[in-house]
Amino acid sequence: MNKSMKTKRLLFEELSAVLTGFSLADIQGTGLSSLYLEVFEDKDPDAINNLLSAFEKFDTESGKLSDDDLILISGALEDKYLRPISQQLILMWYTGQWNFGEPDTYVISKEAYIESFSFRAAGSHPAGAKQPGYGTWQFPPQTFLEE
């Protein structure tokens, strides 16, 4: 796809994949990217636009970045303006929450909790949702093999 044809949402999804370590399909599969982008645009439009612009130059579509790209991205994450918004984005995907400290911390929606990546990263499931089924607690823990 031509970069200029990319929607803002797709760019946001690709950026999210790079920053969370989950695949673009995982990100899109949550059905939450539009909502999350809206939250950022509502809370701090300048910050999210700056972050998206900074990432636009990388070819994140394939989900595989060159070493040079990774170095540049690491640099961007050290940037004092881009770092807080990047952290917020990662936390949002992993916790389903807006995390700028009490009393401003809140769960974005019930779906955001249910789809939050922390549970998947732990090989678990969100308590009270996505139940794994009767007797599954007897299975050995899931193991993740290195690719």
Rule CB under 8 A: which residues touch other proteins? Answer: 97, 105-107, 109-110, 113-114, 124-129, 131-141
Q: Where does residue 63 rank: exposed (0-12), middle (13-18), buried (19+ CB within 10 A)?
A: middle
The nearest distance, CB 35 to other proteins, in angstroms, is 14
Give whichever of 7 and 143 is closer to other proteins, judged by the CB atom.
143
Give whichever of 4 and 141 is closer to other proteins, judged by the CB atom.
141
The Cα 147–Cα 134 span in angstroms is 31
Give whichever of 68 and 133 is closer to other proteins, judged by the CB atom.
133
The Cα 124–Cα 61 span in angstroms is 28
**Residue 10: other Cβ atoms inside 10 A:** 16
Query: Widest CA span of the chain, in angstroms?
Result: 51
The nearest distance, CB 132 to other proteins, in angstroms, is 5
The nearest distance, CB 73 to other proteins, in angstroms, is 30
Tokens of residue 107, six digits: 């769960």
The nearest distance, CB 41 to other proteins, in angstroms, is 21
Q: Strand runs (DSSP E) across the chain, as ranges? A: 97-98, 106-107
Give whichever of 76 and 114 is closer to other proteins, judged by the CB atom.
114
